[in-house]
Amino acid sequence: MSEARDSSANVLSTYINHGFNTTFSVGFDVKFYRRTLSYIFYYIAPNQLIVSFTWLSFLIPLENIPGRLGILLVSMLLIRDYPYSFTSDYTALGIWSLLCRLQIMICIIGYMIIIKLNSKLEVEDASPQYTTNTTQRNGGLIRFSTIENESFDKRAKMDQIIYKIENKGIVLLPLLSVFVNIGFWIHFLVA
């Protein structure tokens, strides 16, 4: 088998000798170039900005439920409705979209846990436990009530747990995003 290459047109000619028959085939080389920069600017960078926008929800006070949920749900809807052109099931862009959605879902689940803990505290605060004692002093009957210290201790412990969840969310979610980015880029650029 002998090959001849025309450098001006990248045409590859091959002569194949099969004993009595000699065949001739002609082909050409096609070089594909992937324009990754356009995908980065149109898809990946805006999605990362939306994910970064959800981290701001942990800076909003806990009592402002509509503000915090508004940021989280609008971010989820923005990423969900972002126009992707998928050609197959598991593309790098599809995996990136899934990772961004998972990061936003982690923020939403974290806030749901905080709301649940806070609602338990509000129910306990609405019905504090009183103890009533009666004593007799100087010939009169005195009745007094005291609030149990347990409800205050529970409130203080739950407030500390909520505070820790919010502060760890502010730090851990950006770190999670950094690790997701590093893993994504190493996997899809090196592979």
78-122 pLDDT, tens digit each? 888 776 665 556 778 888 888 899 999 999 998 888 888 888 777
Q: Which residue has the higher pLDDT, 46 or 31?
A: 46
CB burial class (10 A; 0-12, 13-18, 19+) of residue 56? middle
Count how many Cα atoms sit within 13 Å of the Cα of residue 135 in the half-sphere of its side chain: 4
Give the pLDDT score at 19: 60
Q: Which residues pair with 6 in a beta bridge?
A: 11
**Region 133-148 average pLDDT:** 57
Tell me the C-alpha distance between 92 and 94, whole Å. Answer: 5
Q: Which residues pair with 62 in a beta bridge?
A: none
**Region 56-76 average pLDDT:** 87
At 63, which helix (H) or strand (E)? none
Tell me the C-alpha distance between 4 and 15, whole Å. Answer: 9
